Structure 1
Amino acid sequence: MAGSKAAARGAMGVTIALLIALVFTGMARAEPFPLSPGMPVQAPMDHAALLEDPAGDIDPATVLKGMLDGEFQPLDGKSTSVGITRSAWWVRFEAVNPGRDPVEWVINFPFPLTDYVDLYHQRGDGSVDHVAMGDRLPYDSRPLPGEGFAAPLTTGPGETSTVYVRLHHEYGDGIDVYFQVSSPKAYSTKQHAIWMVLGLFAGGAMLLFLYNVVIFAVVRERVYFWYLAYFAATQLAFAAASGFGNRFLWPDRPGLGEFAAPLFSALAFMLVVQFSRTFLETRRLTPRFDRVLRVVMAYFALPPILFLAGEGALAAQTVMTGGLALTMLPVYGAILWWRGETSARIFTLAWAVWFVSVALLIGRFVGLAPTNDLTLRIAWMGLLGEAVLFALALADRIRLLQRQKVAAEQQARLALERSEAELKSQVAARTRELQDTNDTLSDLNRQKDRFFSIIAHDLMGPFSVLIGMSDLLKRRISTLPRETIAEYGGDISTAAQNLHKLLENLLSWARLQQGAMSYDPQPYSLNSSVADVTELFAPVARQKGIDLTAETPPELNLRADRKMIETALRNLVSNALKFSRSGDRVRITVAQSDTETRIAVTDTGIGMNAKTMAALFSLDQKLSVAGTEGETGTGLGLRLSHELVERHGGRIEVESEPGAGSTFTIVLPS
């Protein structure tokens, strides 16, 4: 009796424990979803639970036995996007048929970019149906046509179906466990509508593409080429992201479809940056920003490389990060718009559309935005919207160019009218200019004749001495005393030296006028140059009884053409000696500052009046005045010195008073 009571108490304890377990299990599990024959498309996320398999090695048999049911977490109120991941994810969903007839229904995972989708349908009798899907398999292997992965299921009357779905990427990528259930008819109707919309998008895009091809053939602008390249890449990215490519473009090449999404997305981003560079003329307007955009373009070469290297998750993250970097383009476009660049307005709006779509896409990935029919397709809708607005921006650009062309033509007509009105006055002005030029040439010709007359006159003196003295010596050398012969020889030597000096100045001046005199400024010692000139004229000064001195600071250097400056200085010293008397002084002084160098030749000779000073450097005046001891000259030395100094960007300053002497100062920039 006691044993029977103990057994009864043990059985009761087991029963209570089972009841408690059932109660808590029921609380942890979501209620089964009620099926009905004509149910519409709906997303029963509050009836589903989720399990992460980080290593991707959970045995499906373990899951199907219910051994891990307690680890599934309810999806009610949670985001269905798990982001970019390498894990495998299991979805558990229970559906009950409360009716008396079997219910045929469809479960659909609309996110088209998933490598492997394995569905296990566990019936009430314990049997299991396995359906293998995913974009790594040929499209024809899918149980039902569609953009995502759908399978038809049947649940008997009063039966509960448990569906386990495993979603996984071989190399990691974005996964969204969002799914929908519906009747077969509702599924077919919705898919038909989706493909109609996709077809309209594709057809409209093709028409837009061909339209812009025609425009490009007409206008031949480089910006249209980059737009067409970007648009083509966008359409291929759209085909890969929407499932359109898996069904129509590469149905039997799932590997191509797997690679198409990162390749064409990165290519589209790269080309849209190049299009923006060309459209906004960043290379010309903002070179620094243009260099940043080129770096961004190079960055978008990474995702395909990473994908081929087996780093699918990193490739997806790279594309997303690069997409965020492109937000600088709408900001830049808005700045240009604000600055008055009207061509940037539609460009900025296009990028604003893209920005909103990318924000919603990223929001869905990180759980800030729900997964639904809109957010699943917002990315390619944004790309297409952006492409359409870019086409409008190009059309607006052409309209602006046409306006500019019309304005330019109007300005050209006005300019032509002004030209016609001004032509007569210009002809008259040109006639006056020609007359003035002719008068100037006549004056120059008269100056030339006057100058040649001066030269010829002043050459006669030395030649007369040479001819007269040499003829006298020839006839009477045998009868003349030795002292007289020496005196005549000295006169001949002096005349020859004067003639040589005159001809040397004349040759230098002629070479300077013809541009044949080389100009070679080099640093040199000005002290040495002044000393050479002083030493050269020391005998002449002694002969006339003139005190010739030079005062120069130590270590004085000058950058100039030494030959030219020494020639100018020699002429000034020669001129000072020529017009100084016995007992007078000739002093050479040099001063140098940060801005200029001044070389002054000061004498206490006979000086000159204001009229003579005003005509010192003019070819139209005869300035050949005999020196204090009858020395002759052409006045060419002063003119030559003036031009040599001007060749250095300098000038000659003159100060003089009759009877008090003169100061000639060479002023050169330091």
Structure 2
Amino acid sequence: MKRKTKTWFVILTFLVFGIFPISAEEVVSETIDIQNIDHSPIYLAKSILVYEDLSNQLDFDSIRATDFKNKFVKVSSSKEAFNFSYSKSTYWLKVQLKNPEPSAKEVTFVISYPRLKTLDLYFQSSREIKKLKSGYSVPMSERPYQSRFFVFPILFPENTDATVYLKVESPNSINIPIQLWNTNLYDRYEINDHVIQALYFGIALAMVLFNLFLFFILKDSNYFLYVLVVLSTAFTIASHNGISSEYFWPNSPWMDQYSVNLFISIVLVLFLIFMRRLLNTKQLIPRFDRISLGFIILQIIFPICYILSFDSFVKGIVLSHTLTSFWILLVGIICSFKKERIAYFFLLSFSFLFLALIVSTLRALGLIPTNSFTIDGPQYGSAAEMMLLAFALADRYNMIIKEKEAAEAQIKFNLEKSNLDLEVKVKERTDKLNKTLNAMKRDLFVAKKIQENSLITDSKLIKDLNLEYRYLPVSEVGGDFLDISLLKESKYRVLIADATGHGVQAAMISMATKGLYDNVKTFELPPSKVMEIFNEEFMDNFVSLNSLLTAMIIDIDLQEKKIQYASAGHPAAVLLQNDQIQLLTKTGKMIGLKKQIHYGQSELTFGPNDRLFVFTDGVFEAFNSKEEEFGEESLYHLFQNTRNLSLAEVEDYLLKTLQSFLNDQDRQDDLTILGIDF
């Protein structure tokens, strides 16, 4: 019972797929009247008899011999075509035709499948025998009609019966969609066909250029991968429907034999890469993503083996295309269940291409009939796929824009919130700082008053010496200080000093130092000795402050008209005598460098109308925006050029000149100047 069931299953399978021949007794010879082709073509498959030459040795003379007449049988086929799948046999096809008209008629046989290696047509009538060679082994220029299909134009004699034989052999899948056309009608059809092909490839080119432009603008590699997918798909379709044979490689049988399956592998590799990037499968479904990598490797290895051994791997590569297509479809379904929005577009677009690939594969394997749908299906499917993928990329870009806008809105919200929080914190900190600043200002104001009070000299002494001075610290308080004291009748002692730095620290040091000086200033000792004692006291009390001090002590004897002075690294004072300048240069090192420093002493005399200027380095060490220094020479020239002015006018003029030189820039150091007119 099991053997009977199996036998019937095999018989049924052969009958369904059209490869089980009907017995010779059942063959009914049918003659086709070519008058019926004036308005539409005739599909000849149902009227053709077939003989399979397993030896591949028979020629035309053998086939048309009388003893072969009954060996031709009718083979199951679709209305439009035969499908013998992959076969190493040579197939001979025979059909009877007649032209009852009183005039010759131009007819055209069309086999609309471009992947047949050998396709020879023999036209036998009572008047003649014609042989027309075609197939992709024949260069395009040598074929009877240059077209993407195999076309045989024949002038059918009047009142004649004829037998047409076709010899078919190919390592590729053997599909024979054969039609008989009125020649004029086919010429018009071919023009329309080229328009349709131009429309398809025009759409593909537009997609390539537009998305290539987007790639250069957006720098998104998905657009470049899409361009590669569309290009490879277009080349696959061009190879599949014969456009490539007609325009790109008209004299390359090798490309006609191998190109379609090779291009399909390239399409699948690029599609797998594109899928991984577009659907982000590495993060979304990492285990499945590794399998996708395996399919990429499979579609690289199989084509290499296919090139090395066509017969061994042709069916394997076709099956690998089917498996890879199933896998891409499965990944699209899984990602759709993961609720990835773009996966919906991807799944829909690939479904069309998948259907086209499955139809093409099944037709190549002989599992479904060959007809216009199964031949042109891949082209329609690829057109739908590229359009839907373009929508997928557009939707992806739209989602990226929306996500970016949402992120920007969130950032803006967070920024506004942060700004509000920051404003509150800044206000709190500002209030604290203002309180602290106000406290510091009060303290500085008190310090300033203390320092100013410490600099106030007995007005009687100022009048006796005919003295004018200006004291201008950089900030509220400064590091300069001066002192005027009376030693004895007509003998006065003047001190001017400058602590390093400025501001509060320098002011504190100067005030403390002045306290030390107050203890020694009335000693009736020469200025040099007082300076030495002053240095020793400073070192004993303030050496830990790492501060230094320049100072000058000048003893002025108005009765003897004599000046004695000692200078601890202080800028030279200026004595103007008859428009000549005499400098009171330093006689020792700065105070605070080390203990037991010896200070020298100098003595000068002055006469009536002589003028003495004593000052700190802030007077001449002033720099403008060009990094130019006012300098001591400029100061000396100013003293000489203002000899006719009073001391107060000279000092005011000096301050204005400095301000002009600085061009409204702030001074860099404290400024003190003291002038005496003798």
Q: What is the TM-score with the length of structure 2 in the denominator?
A: 0.56
Match of residue 161 from structure 2 = 160
Structure 1 SS opposite 2:43: coil
Match of residue 207 from structure 1 = 206
Match of residue 634 from structure 2 = none
Structure 2 SS opposite 1:180: strand
Cα distance in 2, alignment partners of residues 319 and 150 from structure 1? 28
Structure 2 SS opposite 1:94: strand
Which one-letter code corresponds to 1:38 in the other structure?
Answer: D
Change (3 A) 1:226 1:361: same
Match of residue 663 from structure 2 = none
Cα distance in 2, alignment partners of residues 77 and 134 from structure 1? 22
Cα distance in 2, alignment partners of residues 429 and 287 from structure 1? 52
Shift of 1:373: 2.2
Which one-letter code corresponds to 2:118 in the other structure?
Answer: Y
Match of 2:126 among 124, 130, 137: 124
Which one-letter code corresponds to 1:168 in the other structure?
Answer: E
Which one-letter code corresponds to 1:408 in the other structure?
Answer: A
Deviates more, 1:308-317 or 1:370-379: 308-317
| 8 A contact 1:47–1:93 mirrored in 2 | yes
| 8 A contact 2:133–2:144 mirrored in 1 | no
Change (3 A) 1:50 1:65: same
Match of residue 64 from structure 1 = 64
| 8 A contact 1:84–1:317 mirrored in 2 | no
Cα distance in 2, alignment partners of residues 366 and 266 from structure 1? 17
Shift of 1:323: 2.8
Shift of 1:175: 0.9
Match of residue 237 from structure 1 = 236
Cα distance in 2, alignment partners of residues 42 and 337 from structure 1? 46
Which one-letter code corresponds to 2:245 in the other structure?
Answer: N
RMSD between superposed Cα atoms in Å: 2.7
| 8 A contact 1:173–1:313 mirrored in 2 | no
Query: 1:547-585 CA deviation, whole Å, 9 max, x = no partner?
Result: xxxxxxxxxxxxxxxxxxxxxxxxxxxxxxxxxxxxxxx
Match of residue 51 from structure 1 = 51
Query: 1:390-441 CA deviation, whole Å, 9 max, x = no partner?
Result: 1221111101111111111111111112112222555699999x9xxxxxxx
Shift of 1:346: 1.1
Structure 2 SS opposite 1:121: strand
Which one-letter code corresponds to 2:222 in the other structure?
Answer: V
Query: 1:282-305 CA deviation, whole Å, 9 max, x = no partner?
Result: 122222211111111111124432
Match of residue 182 from structure 1 = 181
| 8 A contact 1:108–1:179 mirrored in 2 | yes
| 8 A contact 1:303–1:315 mirrored in 2 | no
Query: 1:5-29 CA deviation, whole Å, 9 max, x = no partner?
Result: xxxxxxxxxxxxxxxxxxx989623
Match of residue 630 from structure 1 = none
Cα distance in 2, alignment partners of residues 295 and 161 from structure 1? 56
Change (3 A) 1:86 1:65: same
| 8 A contact 2:77–2:369 mirrored in 1 | no
Cα distance in 2, alignment partners of residues 347 and 235 from structure 1? 19
Which one-letter code corresponds to 1:146 in the other structure?
Answer: S
Match of residue 386 from structure 1 = 385
Cα distance in 2, alignment partners of residues 91 and 419 from structure 1? 85
Match of residue 101 from structure 2 = 99
| 8 A contact 1:304–1:315 mirrored in 2 | no
| 8 A contact 2:86–2:365 mirrored in 1 | no
Match of residue 349 from structure 2 = 350
Which one-letter code corresponds to 1:162 in the other structure?
Answer: T
| 8 A contact 2:288–2:331 mirrored in 1 | no
Which one-letter code corresponds to 2:105 in the other structure?
Answer: V
Structure 2 SS opposite 1:177: strand
Cα distance in 1, alignment partners of residues 339 and 429 from structure 2? 43
| 8 A contact 2:105–2:156 mirrored in 1 | yes
Aligned ranges 1:205-604 → 2 under 5 Å:
205-312=204-311, 314-365=313-364, 369-424=368-423
Match of residue 481 from structure 1 = none
Change (3 A) 1:118 1:124: same
Change (3 A) 1:156 1:415: same
Structure showing greater Rg: 2
Shift of 1:184: 0.1
| 8 A contact 1:357–1:379 mirrored in 2 | yes
Change (3 A) 1:398 1:270: same
| 8 A contact 1:135–1:257 mirrored in 2 | yes
Shift of 1:339: 2.8
| 8 A contact 2:264–2:321 mirrored in 1 | no
| 8 A contact 1:84–1:313 mirrored in 2 | no
Aligned ranges 1:18-33 → 2 under 5 Å:
28-33=27-32
Change (3 A) 1:187 1:373: same
Is the helix fraction higher in 1 or 2?
1
Query: 1:507-557 CA deviation, whole Å, 9 max, x = no partner?
Result: xxxxxxxxxxxxxxxxxxxxxxxxxxxxxxxxxxxxxxxxxxxxxxxxxxx
Which one-letter code corresponds to 1:182 in the other structure?
Answer: W
Shift of 1:363: 4.3
| 8 A contact 1:112–1:135 mirrored in 2 | yes
Change (3 A) 1:331 1:308: closer
| 8 A contact 1:105–1:153 mirrored in 2 | yes
Change (3 A) 1:111 1:414: same
Change (3 A) 1:58 1:310: farther
Cα distance in 1, alignment partners of residues 177 and 354 from structure 2? 24
Change (3 A) 1:364 1:232: same
Change (3 A) 1:420 1:89: same
Give unpaired runs (5+ residues) of structure 1.
1-23, 435-670
Cα distance in 2, alignment partners of residues 317 and 185 from structure 1? 43
Which one-letter code corresponds to 1:132 in the other structure?
Answer: K
Change (3 A) 1:190 1:317: farther
| Percent identical residues | 23
Shift of 1:73: 2.4
Cα distance in 2, alignment partners of residues 285 and 339 from structure 1? 8
Which one-letter code corresponds to 2:49 in the other structure?
Answer: A
| 8 A contact 2:268–2:324 mirrored in 1 | no
Structure 2 SS opposite 1:52: strand
Give unpaired runs (5+ residues) of structure 2.
1-22, 434-678
Which one-letter code corresponds to 2:167 in the other structure?
Answer: R
| 8 A contact 2:83–2:176 mirrored in 1 | yes
Q: What is the TM-score with the length of structure 1 in the denominator?
A: 0.57
Change (3 A) 1:69 1:317: farther
Match of 1:90 among 65, 89, 92: 92
| 8 A contact 1:96–1:161 mirrored in 2 | yes
Shift of 1:76: 5.6
Match of residue 532 from structure 2 = none
